[in-house]
Amino acid sequence: MKYLDYATDVINKVLLVLGGFAVLALMLLATGNVMLRIFHIPFRGTYEIVSFLGAIVISFALGYTLKRKDHIVVDIVSDKFPEGLKKVIDIIAYICIAVFFAIVAWQMYVWGMKLWDENEVSETLKIIYYPFVFACALGFAAISLSAFVDLLKKIIGRGE
């Protein structure tokens, strides 16, 4: 269990760093585009690239956010429940999260394979964008794995 937990930590931190680089690129591109608009020479296709990078940022940050419990938890009602019932609710929630995001990752992968097979390109810049779809699938797989590990920890009694 310790090694699985460590592996998910490493995966999530690597994805978080890559997401940070995507945020930096997104900010530089958007800022540069705004600055160049003053001189009437904006970057072509900025909206496309910003959209792709934004999707990567969000999907890469999800696993780390779940692992650190930085997501929003509404526990106004569940605070009144006994510990046993809270544990059952957490287990059900982790199962739902793991299954949902596994399905999302799988469907993103299927969509990416379809884009790859059809040589689909973006509308403005005509760049292949299936790598961005695969990257998002990886981010969703990471949150699914994190939820699965948290589920295991909760079941064996090591969950928070």
Per-residue pLDDT tens digits for 114-140: 999 999 999 989 999 999 999 999 999
Q: pLDDT, tens digit, for every residue of 76-114?
A: 777 788 988 988 988 999 999 999 999 999 999 999 999
Is the per-residue pLDDT at 67 higher than 90? Answer: no
Any idea where the domains of the chain sit in the sequence? 2-156
Nearest-10 Cα torsion for 138, 153, 83, 102: 20
Could you give phi then psi for residue 128, rounded to 5 degrees? Answer: -70, 140
Kindly state the tokens that stand for 24.
């930096």
Least confidently predicted of 39-53, 63-77, 92-106: 63-77
pLDDT at residue 159 in the model: 56
pLDDT at residue 157 in the model: 80
Cα torsion angle, 132, 136, 139, 145, sign: negative
Instruction: Measure the CA–CA gap between 136 and 72, rounded to whole angstroms.
Output: 22
Output 128 or 72, whichever has higher pLDDT.
128
